[in-house]
Structure 1
Amino acid sequence: MPELPEVETVRRTLNELVAGKTIDRVTVSLPRIIQRPAEPEQFADLLAGRTIVTVERRGKFLRLLLDGLTLVSHLRMEGRYGLYRSDEPVEKHTHVIFHFTDGTELRYKDVRQFGTMHVFLPGEELDSPPLNKLGLEPLDDSFTLESLRRLLGRRPGPIKPLLLNQTYVVGLGNIYVDEALFRAGIHPERPADSLEKDEWERLFRAIRDTLGRAVEAGGSSIKSYVNGQGEMGMFQHSLLVYGRKNEPCSRCGSAIEKTVLGGRGTHYCHTCQPPFRGKKGAPQTGARKAR
């Protein structure tokens, strides 16, 4: 699933491609993609004649701001947008087409068919599902060391699942949590309420640094992700632990290990990210080693 860096890259690309374009009509061939309004015909009627002003992002959601409406779109597992000429063949699994007045088309393709689209009045989307329960934006000015520590610092659970919880911090995803925890030298099973002040500082910097680097690299193309221009991300070439099971750690040379924590494959270095030991000295662990 595309995470924050990938969705941010798509946002930037889409903004360059479609901002200022006016929708002539909309074709919907898979109605369940449209979550709001209930009828795809009403969705098409609402968007016809609207101009796309800009494209923004909230967590892993795209927000297409039109004159008088906001379209919220989630790519889920395989969703992708592309701009085409109207005379180009429509590829298989293309479910929604925004026909522009200039003869181009923004096409939404989704092999897995899990993507969603919602239409709201401007501003209404931030107080309604699916955006109203999202947590801190890690690349926003509101995301500070203090806000992160205040939100998670008293929670007894393992730090990785907490960082993956979208109601706390949005958009990190499995790849970037593993990478940020490695950069911070924190074991993924470490209880959040056991972290010291300097560890919170390292974690905060690692989250911002990891995401910033990933955005600049266009995200990570681990599976099928490409941006709105069909280009792959390049950050996968800079990953330090994710997907590197049994490879030597770039810092100490120890073999990268993989466990399953909270149902998610989790990569870490046992030496650089030592497991937390409780008051009696016993390692605190709830993960199982991945085969």
Structure 2
Amino acid sequence: MPELPEITVIAKQMDKEVRGKRIADIEAKQPKNLNMPVAQFVKAAKGKTIKSVSSHGKWLFVKLDPRYLLFINLGMGAELLSFTQKQKLPEKYHFKLTFTDKTGFTAHFWWFGYIHLIPEKELAKHKMASQLGISPMQEEFTLERFKRTLLGKKTGIKSFLLDQKNVAGIGNVYIQDILFKARLHPNRKIPSLSEEEINALYEAIRDVLGRSIKAGGAAFEVDFYGHKGKFTATDFLVGYKAGKPCPECNTPIEKIRTGTTASYICPKCQKLE
């Protein structure tokens, strides 16, 4: 599943390639990915120009002119790929958007995904995008802002961070190393965290996600050009390394069940206190 690093990379590439282009046509083979009937979607989108592409958490925000927003979420996995006039299209795709210059992009979802179009003034009414928490790579994601987000919460720290209404963009891939760097067990309750641990967690979030962004995202995902990221299995500290030695103390890394998700921890460095 693409998480914040991969979506950040794709957004920057999309903004470079499609900004200023005018939508000529849309093909939608999977109506359930859309938030309105296909014919209505196509009619509303055709003729509009791309103003910018940005990201927020795991969502792509495409601003259109006149004032519309195109939201794209790649769900549990997808390929969002650009194409040129001379390029052969992918064999499989659920969505294709073509510009007047014959370039465009396709989307192929492994399981589910969303491509929603709404008037800009109705952003607050979009049930998913309007409820997103702050994105960790935003300038507004300061330590003080993070502390306020945690204030009064009583849940476990992992489930809190995975809830997109609290912090947008972190999934079960990068949460492993984030918690390890902060030396926190995934089931630690928020009220039990010291100020020093919260500071360490904040720095870990920024560091782990930032390193993957610089590497172009995870190696098992592809960017807007179809290139794989360079954040490989060797770059993970404990994530998906059950039985391997902890990079800090050499204790074997354990895979445990935390709610509905799996977690990888060092039982010595990440004690449940």
TM-score (norm 1): 0.88
Matches within 5 A, 1:142-181: 142-181=140-179
Q: Does 1:198 pair with 2:196? A: yes
Per-residue deviation, 1:79? 2.1
Other-structure match for 2:223? 227
Q: Secondary structure at the match of 1:6?
A: helix
Q: Does residue 81 in structure 1 map to residue 49 in structure 2?
A: no
Q: CA separation of 1:209/1:127 partners in 2, compared to 1, >3 Å: closer, same or farther?
A: farther
When the two structures are aligned, how many residues end up with a matched partner? Answer: 271
Whichever residue aligns with residue 249 of structure 1, its letter is: C
SS in 1 for 2:172: helix
The answer to whether the aligner puts 1:267 opposite 2:254 as a matched pair is: no
Paired amino acid for 2:219: S
Mapped to 1, the partners of 2:107 and 2:71 lie a distance apart of 13
Whole-angstrom distance in 2 between the partners of 1:209 and 1:91:
35
Does the 8 Å contact 1:176/1:210 carry over to 2? yes
Moved more, 124-133 or 247-256: 124-133
* Partner Cα separation in structure 2 for residue 96 and residue 166 of structure 1: 25
Give yes or no for contact 1:93–1:110 (8 Å, CA) kept in 2. no
Q: Which of 234, 248, 267 pairs up with 1:251? A: 248
How high is the sequence identity, in percent, across the aligned residues?
A: 33
Check whether the contact 1:93–1:111 (CA below 8 A) recurs between aligned residues.
no
Residue by residue over 1:134-192, the C-alpha shift from the partner in whole angstroms, topping out at 9 and shown as x without a partner, is 11211112222222222224333221111111111111111221111111111111111
Matched with 1:182 is: 180
For the Cα contact (< 8 Å) 2:25–2:99, is it kept in 1?
A: yes
Residue 76 to residue 246, structure 1, CA distance change in 2 (3 Å):
same
Q: Distance in 1 between matches of 2:196 and 2:110?
A: 44
Residue type of the partner of 1:81?
L
Q: How far off its partner does 1:213 sit? A: 1.0
Superimposed CA distance per residue, residues 100-154 of structure 1 (whole angstroms, 9 cap, x where no aligned partner)? 1112231122232x11111112253244222111112111122222222222243
Of residues 145-154 and 260-269 in structure 1, the stretch that sits farther from structure 2 once superposed is: 145-154
* 2:159 aligned partner, one-letter code: P
**Which shows bigger deviation, 70-79 or 145-154?**
145-154
* Distance change (3 Å), C-alpha of 1:109 and 1:248: same
**Per-residue displacement from partner, 1:177-212 (whole Å, max 9, x unpaired)?**
111111111111111100111111111111111111
Correspondence for 1:16: 16
Query: 2:133 — aligned with what?
Result: 135
CA RMSD of aligned residues (A): 1.6
Contact 2:92 2:108 in 1 (8 A): yes
1:17-96 → structure 2 map (5 Å cutoff): 17-35=17-35, 38-68=36-66, 69-86=68-85, 88-96=87-95
Query: Aligned equivalents of 1:210 and 1:8: distance in 2?
Result: 14
Which ranges of structure 2 fall in alignment gaps of 5 or more residues? none
- SS for the counterpart of 1:173 is coil
Give, as a single letter, the amino acid of the residue that structure 1 aligns with 2:75: R
Aligned 1:92-131 pairs, distance under 5 A: 92-112=91-111, 114-131=112-129
Amino acid at match of 1:27: E
Say which SS state the counterpart of residue 94 (structure 2) adopts. Answer: strand
Match of 1:279 in 2: none
State whether residues 125 and 132 of structure 1, in contact with CA within 8 Å, keep that contact through their aligned partners in structure 2: yes
Please report the TM-score for the alignment, with normalisation by the length of structure 2.
0.94
Contact kept, 8 Å, 2:83 with 2:89, in 1: the verdict is: no
Q: Tell me the alpha carbon deviations over residues 14-35 of structure 1, each in whole angstroms, 9 at most, x when there is no partner.
A: 1122112211111222211111
Larger Cα-atom Rg: 1
